[in-house]
Amino acid sequence: MTDRKALRMPSFVHVGPPRTGTTWLHEVMLGHIGLPSEKETRFFDVRYDRGAKWYSDLFGDYPSDVPGGEIGPTYFSNAISRQRIKHDIPDCKIIVTFREPAARLYSLYRLLRSERRPVNDTFDGYWRFQINCGADLCSYATHLKRWQETFGKSRVLVLFYEDLSLNPQGYLDRVCDFVGARRIALDRSRVGGAKVYSAPGAARSNPIAHLTVETIDWLSRHGARPLIQLGQRTALWKIMRRPFVEYFPPLSDESADEIRAMMLPETEELEHLTGRDLSRWKDVAHRKLDHDTADIRTAAR
CATH number at residue 73: 3.40.50.300
**93 and 10 part of one domain:** yes
Report yes or no on 294 lying in a domain. no
Closest CA to 251 of 110, 120, 137: 110
pLDDT tens-digit readout, 107-152: 999 888 877 777 788 899 999 998 888 787 789 999 999 999 999 9
Beta strands at 12-14 and 69-71: parallel, antiparallel or unpaired:
parallel
In a shared domain, residues 102 and 182: yes
Q: Are 41 and 72 in contact (CB under 8 A)?
A: yes
Q: If you average pLDDT over each of 238-242, 248-252, 273-277, 286-290, which comes out highest?
A: 273-277
Per-residue confidence (pLDDT) for residue 50, from 0 to 100: 97
Cα-based angle 278, 282, 284 (whole degrees, multiple of 5): 125
Q: Same structural domain for residues 159 and 227? A: no
Same domain assignment for residues 182 and 216? no
Distances (CA, A) of 65 to 32, 148, 184: 11, 27, 15
Q: Over range 156-169, report the average pLDDT.
A: 96
pLDDT digits (tens, 9 = 90+) for 167-208: 999 999 999 999 999 999 998 877 765 555 444 444 445 554
Q: pLDDT: is 249 or 300 the higher one?
A: 249
- Whether 34 and 143 map to the same domain: the answer is yes
pTM, two decimal places: 0.77
Q: Do 243 and 151 belong together in one domain?
A: no
pLDDT at residue 241 is higher than 60: no
Closest by CA to 156, choosing from 134, 179, 173, 133, is 179
* 205 DSSP assignment: S
Per-residue confidence band for 210, with pLDDT thresholds at 50, 70 and 90: low
The confidence band for 93, taking pLDDT boundaries of 50, 70 and 90, is: very high
174 and 225 part of one domain: no
Q: Are 11 and 93 in contact (CB under 8 A)?
A: yes
Question: Residues 169, 23: one domain?
Answer: yes
Whether residue 223 sits in one domain with residue 164: no
Sequence length of the chain is: 301
Domain that holds residue 39: 4-188
Q: Which residue has the higher pLDDT, 180 or 247?
A: 180
What residues are paired with 34 via a beta bridge?
68
Number of domains in the chain: 2
